[in-house]
Structure 1
């Protein structure tokens, strides 16, 4: 991969997340309705190298607007992948409040919902290495933009979320840490070795 080719970098990061979706989310049936939108090509992968909360919010707003502007048959959902930022889970978790506030500011609350995934995802009240946390662990910090209408249809088809969450925990407990490691879904890109593009609005001297 060329260090000077942003498109190659983005493609490699997106492929990491696509592999995670195929092998973990779909492969383990953690989300029963993910397979259909994946097979139909309705999942959009957006990679941002933004390194500040303000820039991430700009990219998030763009992806939210793009999602609702398109018909669900063309783009049902978006995965906004933060390749270079919010690697600390607590900082990422704090940022989610700002993401939800953006939904309110854009009058999209009730239209789009934001789910979250992170390499170090940790549910409240659990130990960091609790296997249940791995249901929400992805190769990179990721914001999942879901249409509320699609969620409603999924609930009608597959039932309420709580039984699914409990089933996922049982799946992860059966799989174990060793089984998770065999999925081969760790990131393939060392972002520290790929210089980020120039900061927005700044000029190289």
Structure 2
């Protein structure tokens, strides 16, 4: 991953992540619920410099507390961005499982859910070069912290939400690798 060898400031990490959200997630409508949150500026970009499991857990739990203490208008949802330390996809997945267990232990199952994004995201059993992976690829490892009540309300106004993944995969495959890189050039560094 060429990007991992460069140093990015916190501002650059946030800017590139915002660009990814606006260009890919909202621009391609990969998440039909993202546009209002981006428009309302209630999406929090939380970039951590924590390294190692213990400090990552502390930073993650602090973000959970901050989200729960805020109103939905202030912070609707949070992208917890880990620019260093989880470059390996399988290390990232280990932390995803750990964070999910911590939410369950804290009694937040059914209150908070996580969505996962990583530069090297791979769906199990799918060829590595398949464009379906790009639906969950981001510039850095990201844990998307979502309020379940808000998501449930959004789903009541969306018909056939179970078809979103298939629709996204079809769209990504139709666009093709080169068109996706043209849309978001940083993808060339890790896809």
TM-score (norm 1): 0.84
Q: What whole-Å deviation, never above 9, does each CA across 1:101-129 have from its counterpart, x for those lacking one?
A: 11012211111101110001011111121
Tell me whether 1:67 sits opposite 2:67 in the alignment: yes
What's the secondary structure of 2:38's corresponding residue?
helix
> Which structure has greater helix proportion?
2
Distance in 2, matches of 1:40 and 1:100, equals 28
TM-score (norm 2): 0.90
The corresponding residue for 2:3 is none
The corresponding residue for 1:166 is 166
Distance in 1, matches of 2:72 and 2:185, equals 28
Distance in 1, matches of 2:186 and 2:157, equals 31
Aligned 8 A contact 1:135 1:169 in 2: yes
Structure 1 runs (4+) greater than 3 angstroms displaced? none
After superposition, the Cα gap between the structure-2 partners of 1:131 and 1:33, relative to the gap in structure 1 and judged at 3 Å, is same
The corresponding residue for 1:78 is 78
The corresponding residue for 1:179 is 179
Q: What whole-Å deviation, never above 9, does each CA across 1:46-87 have from its counterpart, x for those lacking one?
A: 101222111111110000010011110111000010011110
| Deviation, structure 1 residue 142 | 0.3
The corresponding residue for 2:17 is 17
Aligned 8 A contact 2:46 2:78 in 1: yes
The corresponding residue for 1:38 is 38
Residues 93-132 of structure 1 correspond to what in structure 2 (within 5 A)? 93-132=93-132
Distance in 2, matches of 1:47 and 1:185, equals 22
Q: What whole-Å deviation, never above 9, does each CA across 1:144-171 have from its counterpart, x for those lacking one?
A: 0000011101211113432111100111
The corresponding residue for 2:4 is none
In the comparison of the two structures, how many residue pairs are matched? 180
Distance in 1, matches of 2:96 and 2:125, equals 18
Aligned 8 A contact 2:24 2:184 in 1: no
Stretches of structure 2 lacking an aligned partner (at least 5 in a row): 1-7
Moved more, 156-165 or 84-93: 156-165
| Deviation, structure 1 residue 184 | 2.6
Distance in 1, matches of 2:36 and 2:185, equals 21
Stretches of structure 1 lacking an aligned partner (at least 5 in a row): 1-7, 188-205
Aligned 8 A contact 1:103 1:112 in 2: yes
What's the secondary structure of 2:175's corresponding residue?
helix
